[in-house]
């Protein structure tokens, strides 16, 4: 099978490419914006291009059977939702023209009946745009991905370990179902190998449902042994929270703001059908955190679920 990975330089993309090379016999192509700065694993075909610029990336889709769409514009300057929309539209048209059979998209958890944050609403819009094409689209929806290089986990980790006292929005008690990066890669590989998953939407998560407060406390306990005092107040909006988050963490404001806005949405798996199609034990939150911060017995470069050594990471997804 010929497989294309977009977003190959991102947090998930790098690990997925390594896993595809190590665990499958598929021909793997990656689409990157700057080929000179990308060091691919052996045997990977590299195509340079940008999905925001029609005419500059279509060669990557030649003869592709399945394409992973791991592109997210959050963190870019300007309107990230508009950029996500434009990129998805360009990719959908190119994949349809190329006759690509399947697209696998990593999206975000969240109940469609809720008022979704701009970040999650953009993910839903991309899902819809990709489905307008001729390819069968498989969607994997995840909450916070725990791993070294994840912007969302970096935000949690730095808040947990840098502040002895935290004044937070009331949404700090919202439920979340984080998932280890190893498990995300395993699910991405699982749907590739199972044609019955084509055209389906699946929710993926770890075994633990935690509030953001609990994630902060547990992360701090694991890394420093000194959990912070967390004081939720009703008058602190996510917008105001993003300002002090910018002072405490090194997560760029254009990334932190939509992530903080999203904490008001409950992000918990309500449909676990995919668990019945895969054969591995999901990683508990504490184990995922220990791996992410380099305290696990198997070390920060632990062998992931796909049997590959996790590469260095740059950026979110």
Rounded Cα distance, 176 and 162, in Å: 22
pLDDT at 310: 37
Model's pTM, two decimal places? 0.88
Q: According to the model, what pLDDT value does residue 85 have?
A: 95
Scan for tokens 């920060």, then name that residue. Answer: 300
* Structure-model confidence comparison of residues 283 and 232, the more confident one: 283
Is pLDDT at 196 greater than 60 in this prediction?
yes
Mean of pLDDT over the chain: 86
Structural domains for the chain: 2-146+178-206+267-282 (3.40.50.720)
Structure tokens belonging to residue 245:
């988050």
Q: Is the dihedral of CA 21, 140, 123, 205 positive or negative?
A: negative
Q: Which pLDDT score is estimated for 238? A: 60
Residue 309 has pLDDT above 50, yes or no: no
Does residue 96 register a pLDDT over 90? Answer: yes
Q: pLDDT digits over 256-290, tens only?
A: 777 777 777 899 999 999 988 888 899 999 999 99
Q: What is the pLDDT of residues 112-145, one digit of tens each?
A: 766 888 889 999 999 999 999 999 999 999 999 9
């Amino acid at each position: 099978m010929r497989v294309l990975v977009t977003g190959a330089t991102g947090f998930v993309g790098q690990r997925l490419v390594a896993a595809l090379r190590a665990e499958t016999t598929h021909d793997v192509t990656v689409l990157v914006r700057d080929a000179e700065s990308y060091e691919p694993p052996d045997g990977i075909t590299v195509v340079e291009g940008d999905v925001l610029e029609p005419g500059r990336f279509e060669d990557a889709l030649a003869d592709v059977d399945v394409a992973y769409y791991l592109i997210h514009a959050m963190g870019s300057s300007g309107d990230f939702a508009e950029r996500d929309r434009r990129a998805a539209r360009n990719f959908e048209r190119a994949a349809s023209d190329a006759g690509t059979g399947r697209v696998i998209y990593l999206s975000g958890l969240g109940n469609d009946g809720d008022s979704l944050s701009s970040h999650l609403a953009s993910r839903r819009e991309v899902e819809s745009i990709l489905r307008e094409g001729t390819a069968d689209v498989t969607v994997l929806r995840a909450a916070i991905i725990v791993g070294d290089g994840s912007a969302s986990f970096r935000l949690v980790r730095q808040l947990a370990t840098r502040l002895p006292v935290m004044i937070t929005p009331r949404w700090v008690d919202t439920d979340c179902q984080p998932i280890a990066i190893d498990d995300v890669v395993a699910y991405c590989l699982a749907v590739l190998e199972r044609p019955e998953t084509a055209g389906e939407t699946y929710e993926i998560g770890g075994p633990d449902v935690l509030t953001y407060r609990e994630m902060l406390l547990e992360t701090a306990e694991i890394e420093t042994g000194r959990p912070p005092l967390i004081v939720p107040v009703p008058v602190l909006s996510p917008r105001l929270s993003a300002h002090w988050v910018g002072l405490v963490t090194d997560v760029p404001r254009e990334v932190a703001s939509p992530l903080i806005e999203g904490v008001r949405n409950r992000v918990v798996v309500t449909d676990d059908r995919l668990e019945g199609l895969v054969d591995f034990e999901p990683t508990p939150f504490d184990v995922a955190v220990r791996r992410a911060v380099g305290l696990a017995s198997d070390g920060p470069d632990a062998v992931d679920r796909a049997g590959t050594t996790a590469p260095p990471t740059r950026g979110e997804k």
